[in-house]
Amino acid sequence: MPLVRIDLAEGKSAEHRKRIGNIIYDAMRAIIGVPMDDKFQIITEHPLEEMNFPASYLGIEYSQDLIIIQMTISVGRTVEMKQTLYKRIADDLHTQLKIRREDVFINVVEVVKENWSFGNGVAQYV
């Protein structure tokens, strides 16, 4: 049920971008119970001049390698599950791809289940 949008500055290889997506998907499966094969991701590279963010916010210093991850998911996850998910993604991106934890920006958008159609014009979760 998640739809994940991943935005980053251009210049990374297709393999690097795919690994980012896989790391996020693996964390969602482990932490918030995303089903097998429920992997819908849009990964978009942007010229750096199209990425508009501050040098720092809330005491966090960003680099030009900032990755913005937006997950649209169904309602029902606890605050603790979300916090664990954020940490797991940042840690795994850092460990596996050497992405700074500070450069992992995550936003979750929660929607009710009738807001999903996976094809055929049917709301499968209703």
Among 2, 35, 47, 54, the active-site one is: 2
Structure tokens at 4: 């994940």
Q: Is 2 tagged catalytic?
A: yes
The predicted pLDDT at position 54 comes to 97
| Residue 71 lies in domain | 3-115
Number of domains the chain contains: 1
User: In which band, very low, low, confident or very high, does the pLDDT at 122 lie, cut at 50, 70 and 90?
Assistant: very high
Q: Which residue in 69, 77, 101 sits closest to 88, CA to CA?
A: 101
Whether residue 120 is contained in a domain is answered as no
Q: What is the pTM of this model?
A: 0.93
Whether residue 126 is contained in a domain is answered as no
Whether residue 47 is contained in a domain is answered as yes
Whether residue 68 is contained in a domain is answered as yes
User: In which band, very low, low, confident or very high, does the pLDDT at 1 lie, cut at 50, 70 and 90?
Assistant: confident
Whether residue 15 is contained in a domain is answered as yes
Is the separation of the CB atoms in 85 and 31 below 8 Å?
yes
| CATH code where residue 11 lies | 3.30.429.10
Whether residue 25 is contained in a domain is answered as yes
The predicted pLDDT at position 116 comes to 86
Whether residue 65 is contained in a domain is answered as yes
Whether residue 125 is contained in a domain is answered as no
Region for residue 98 given its phi and psi (left: phi exceeds 0; alpha: psi -120 to 50; beta: otherwise): left
